[in-house]
Amino acid sequence: MSQKLIGRVSALALAAALSASLGACATAPAAVDDSMAQIQNVPKPVNRIADSHSYARPADARVVHVDLDLKADFDAHVLSGKATLDVTGRRGVDEVILDVRNLDIRSVTDAQGRALAWSVGADQAFMGQPLTVKLPTFAGHETQKVVIDYATRPDASALQWLNPQQTAGKQKPFLFSQGQAILTRTWIPTQDSPGIRQTYTARIEAPADLTVVMAAEMLTPGGEATTPGHKAWRFRMANPIPPYLIAIGVGDLAFAPLDERTGVWAEPSSLEASRHELEPTAQMVDAAEALYGPYLWGRYDLLMLPPSFPFGGMENPMLTFATPTIIAGDRSLVSLVAHELAHSWSGNLVTNANWDDFWLNEGFTSYFENRIMEAVYGRDAAVQEQVLAWGGLQDELKSLPPEDTRLHLDLTGRDPDEGMNTIAYDKGAAFVRTMERIAGREVFDAWLRGYFERNAWVPMTSELFLKDVREHLVKGDAALEAALMLDEWVYQPGLPSNAVAPVSNAFSVVDQAANAFYVDRGPASAIAWSDWNTQQRQRFLSWRPTGGTGAWLTEAQLSDLNQTLNLDAEGNSEVRFAWLQVALAHRYEPSVASAEAFLTSMGRRKFVLPLFQTLWNQGDWGQAHARRIYAKARPLYHPVTTGSVDAVVGQN
């Protein structure tokens, strides 16, 4: 998952073989041959790592496969049908415990339709309920099937049902899911823990004028006719994945290939702009493979979602979900693609066993993203991204309580979303970059490639990660161990003494211009804005007086800056956001209309939450605007976004 912004190299043999068999076409990716279901004959290890955010007891009984047969009702805003779970259990165990949240369970049976006893336990805030199903006692290693007939509710937190006016085309409705961290249980009854990997298959029925896509192999391009006015679509994910990565999208969608194994889905009205913006994707896949080994998921496609999608991107395997806020027209924000692609190794292949170690997903991914950017766009571009991230990290370190600035967290009793902040991303990436600097890039790269290979498909914790580092990178070298400061990085707050701030020469001219404008009160017309890239513009707008508080610009400066650079009409979402943070912090009334237009045109939490926080911090002036704008915008947002902003604006 991304909260940030972005010569082909040879693909390795396995990935080349996969892409050759998959192909692509102008209307949809090719169906996958049945033999592809066996491309990853991977183990399904028993997970004995505790997860305080799941009721499951996987050491006793665990779900290894989910088969969905669901129908999408756009009038009722409900998915209904059956989930058939393959469950394995320890000898003597006679029940399996699943995670559910506000699901309407109609019946639970075995594969032959015989009723199984079941009960739903007490509800716990953000956790939902345990669904306990009684089974015939396991004799050993057999698999039992549990068939659950159920329906979601219209307010299921993982699902957002959009009316036509909330889409790009304005003609047809749209549905998408967002399962991270523990929202999959609001639409699928399963063991909703990242350490309990599951394969899945699905049959989804939807109105015939819509297209269904999932984070899986599409087996029926074009769909299959069912009842009048409906079609069914079939999917298969042969690799075991954490359940938060099971994802669905239903809407008026078209497909455009980027190369033989990459492409983009989008609403027809935005397909060409999306295809143009995302064209570097194919090159990024090749660059990633050259760094850390074969891409093991077959296709890599992207789904450009409506503006209400709460994240920059979501790394759903084979089908990254992306926000339209990355469409800048100049491909300046496609580092998001590099980030979600990198998750195919760090996160999807090697996954945090529980949400206390979210940094293992995002820290490694943010580092890997930067290496892809370096390979495709050069060292200077990559370092600029590092510097911007470092600045954001310093702000986050100041704003959080010390215990929340550690990489390994204790989120027991807390919503895991509270751990999804800049610390996991940017402190994590700074740690990995420190390891590379001290060990040397060649040695470090060999270790990291091996780390992905050794730990593929296996739940990972900070403890296991440190064990791997000591066995395969440190190798008994006491001096290297001391220099890396491993435990300090993982378990202590703040930044260890071996952290080094990145420096970009490209920002020198920007810093000079910032000083000339902000401090010396020079004219905005002297700023070399048209010569700067997006990252340089962000750097300029993120300038703050050292140690200062409150306003640092005059009304005249704000007006000069806005009118000269046309910032209220800026089309680049990252630059627009940076400007609005400045304008609202100064209670600059002329930019309130721009802020309202921005906040009601998309629901990306990275932008929405800080802007409402900035407004709220401005006392009566800002709070009045915040309440008014949020009343208008809230119905457009995903529950992931409203869940955060409600706490700021005071909604119940």
Which residues does the annotation mark as catalytic?
340, 425
DSSP 8-state symbol, 375 = H
Neighbours of 399 (CB within 10 A): 12
Which stretches of 102-158 are assigned E, i.e. beta strand?
A: 104-109, 118-120, 129-134, 143-151
Neighbours of 92 (CB within 10 A): 10
What token pair was written down for 279?
């064209």
Burial class of residue 111 in the structure, from the number of CB atoms within 10 Å of its CB (0-12 exposed, 13-18 middle, 19+ buried): exposed
Q: Which position has the token pair 């435990």?
A: 487
Measured CA distances, 274 to 88, 265, 278, 325, 573 (Å): 43, 8, 6, 11, 15
User: In sequence order, which residues have a C-beta less than 8 Å from that of residue 530 and are 6 or more positions away?
Assistant: none
| CA dihedral sign, ordered 262, 264, 265, 268 | negative
User: In sequence order, which residues have a C-beta less than 8 Å from that of residue 442 and are 6 or more positions away?
Assistant: none
What token pair was written down for 280?
């570097």
Residue 76: name the closest of 248, 207, 269 by CA.
207
Return d(Cα 448, Cα 439) in angstroms, integer: 12
Q: Beta partners for 120?
A: 131
Return d(Cα 625, Cα 600) in angstroms, integer: 13
Rg value, the chain, Cα: 25
Return d(Cα 358, Cα 461) in angstroms, integer: 9
Neighbours of 136 (CB within 10 A): 11
Residue 204: name the closest of 190, 186, 218 by CA.
218
DSSP 8-state symbol, 140 = S
Q: Which position has the token pair 């293992």?
A: 360
Return d(Cα 548, Cα 545) in angstroms, integer: 5
- The CA angle 608-176-340, to the nearest 5 degrees, is 70
Return d(Cα 570, Cα 577) in angstroms, integer: 9
Is 461 within 8 Å of 350 (Cβ atoms)?
A: no
Burial class of residue 253 in the structure, from the number of CB atoms within 10 Å of its CB (0-12 exposed, 13-18 middle, 19+ buried): buried
Pairing state of beta strands 300-304 and 319-322? Answer: parallel
DSSP 8-state symbol, 346 = B
Give me the helices (H) in 378-440, please: 379-399, 422, 428-439
Three-state secondary-structure class, residue 526: helix
Three-state secondary-structure class, residue 202: strand
Is 308 within 8 Å of 599 (Cβ atoms)?
A: no
DSSP per-residue string spanning 632-647? HHGGGS-HHHHHHHHH
Return d(Cα 426, Cα 436) in angstroms, integer: 15
Q: Beta partners for 321?
A: 303, 314
Return d(Cα 380, Cα 561) in angstroms, integer: 27
